[in-house]
Chain A
Amino acid sequence: MLGYIAIGIPCGILCDSIGLNAFQALLMSIVFYSGAGQFMIPNMYLAGAPMASIIASVSFVNTRQMLYSAYFAPFAANVSKRLAFFFAATVTDESYGVSAAKFQEGEWSIDRALMVNIFSQSSWALSNFIGVLLGSAIGIPLNIAAFAMTSIFICLLVTQKLTSANIVAAVVAMVGVYVCKLVGLSGPAILIGAVAGVVVAMIFCALRDKAAKRSAV
């Protein structure tokens, strides 16, 4: 919960910097409700990325939510459709981590998990609201507020499982972003870099599996 406040306030400050008001930030936090996504939007907007590129990049980064949704499917099999929907619609990286661990232990249910989600969402929305008010009241240097986001992405990156496929994906993605910027494609750089990382890592896995099969025979 404290985590949401510490991240939500800088996020609100960034939203203020692109001219969103507190109501817009609140609306975005409730309807869209994605920490990484809400940091990406002002960041890409400030960098002058076109709208289509912003939506495509943010959506791509958020496809990881499908994994969480698939994970919770067996636990939601016996609850009402409406409850399952509200639960699924409010899962985030952090609340997935919390609820996945509790479901593993047992003694956990979809309605309790939904309560956790709603608490998280409220503190996120509220701290974004406060962030916008703070941002418009005092001049916090933008590059400092933006670094809150960079730090979060670094944390999310280094806490990924250290598999060889993940390392290939990450390195290719980083090189891909740099190359895109070199050739002047800074708008879609994130999307192109990340897709390149996934594709190359999939090829890497396929080749590795083939090699493993061959040596097994």
Chain B
Amino acid sequence: MSWEEFWIILIGCSITILICRTLPLFLLKGRELPEWAIRSLGLIPAAAFAALVANDLFAPGMFDGGIWPAAIPLLVACFVVVVALKTRSLLWSAVTGVAVYAILLLI
């Protein structure tokens, strides 16, 4: 990534996140958001994280080169789901994912 691309992405992403982080706090001052807004904002995490997971795990034609190499991430994902549900910890989920992935790649 060039410096130019770096600045565009850094500034672009930083401005939008800063607005999302600070604007509601100053605009609301104790008032509530309308119900439809709360509802749709509440749905974003589930939809966004599902989209991110799907983007990482699934691709058309992923099994064309045989079942095993393509199945590794899916298998690791199952382990991570179990650990995430049990511990609810980002740390343990990340450690499990990386460790199990490394072990399965070695086999």
Interface residues of A (CB under 8 A from B): 2-3, 6-7, 10, 18-20, 24, 27-28, 31-34, 36-37, 40-41, 43, 45, 51, 54-55, 58-70, 72-74, 76-77, 81, 84-85, 88-89, 91, 94, 141, 143-160, 165-167, 169-178, 181-182, 189-191, 193-198, 201-202, 205
Contact B47 A70 (CB under 8 A): no
Q: What 8 new A-B contacts, CB under 8 Å, besides A156-B90, A157-B49, A197-B43?
A: A3-B89, A3-B91, A37-B17, A61-B48, A88-B26, A150-B97, A154-B93, A169-B50
Contact of A150 among B48, B59, B73 (CB under 8 A): B73
Tell whether B70 is near chain A: CB-to-CB under 8 Å: no
Asked if B107 is an interface residue, CB under 8 A from chain A, the answer is no
CA distance A217 to B24 in the complex (A): 37
The answer to whether B25 and A76 touch across the interface, beta carbons within 8 angstroms, is: yes
B9 within 8 A of A: yes
Which of B49, B60, B80, B81 is the most central at the interface, judged by chain A CB atoms within 10 Å of its CB?
A: B49
With beta carbons under 8 angstroms apart, the residue of A24, A45, A64, A66 that contacts B48 is A64
The interface of chain B, by Cβ under 8 A from chain A, is 1, 5-6, 8-10, 12-14, 16-18, 20-26, 28-33, 36, 38-60, 73, 76-77, 80-81, 84-85, 88-91, 93-98, 101-102, 105
Contacts of B95 in A (CB 8 A): 6
Assess the B98–A178 pair: CB atoms within 8 A: no
A158 and B101 contact, CB distance less than 8 A: no
- Which chain B residues border A177 with CB–CB below 8 Å? 51, 54-55, 58
Determine how close the nearest CB of chain B comes to the CB of A78; give it in whole angstroms.
Answer: 10
User: Of the candidates B32, B39, B60, B96, which one forms a contact with A151 in the assembled complex, judged by CB atoms under 8 Å apart?
Assistant: B96
Knowing A151-B94, A169-B46 are in contact, say whether A32-B13 is a contact too (CB < 8 A). Answer: yes
Q: Which residues of B contact A143 (CB under 8 A)?
A: 101
Q: Is the interface of B mostly helix, strand, loop or mixed?
A: helix
Q: Would A151 and B97 count as touching, CB distance under 8 A?
A: yes
- On whether A31 and B22 interact (CB within 8 A), knowing A169-B50, A194-B44, the answer reads no
* B16, A151: Cβ atoms closer than 8 Å: no
Contacting pair A157 B93 (CB below 8 A): no
Q: How far is the CA of A31 from the CA of B6 in the complex (A)?
A: 13
Contact across chains for B73 and A60 when beta carbons are under 8 A apart: no
- Bound-state Cα–Cα, A159 to B82, Å: 11
Residues in B whose Cβ lies below 8 Å from that of A55 = 8-9, 12-13, 16
Residue from B8, B12, B49 within 8 A of A153 (CB atoms): B49
Please state if A198 and B51 are interface contacts (CB–CB under 8 Å).
no
Closest to A159 in B: B88
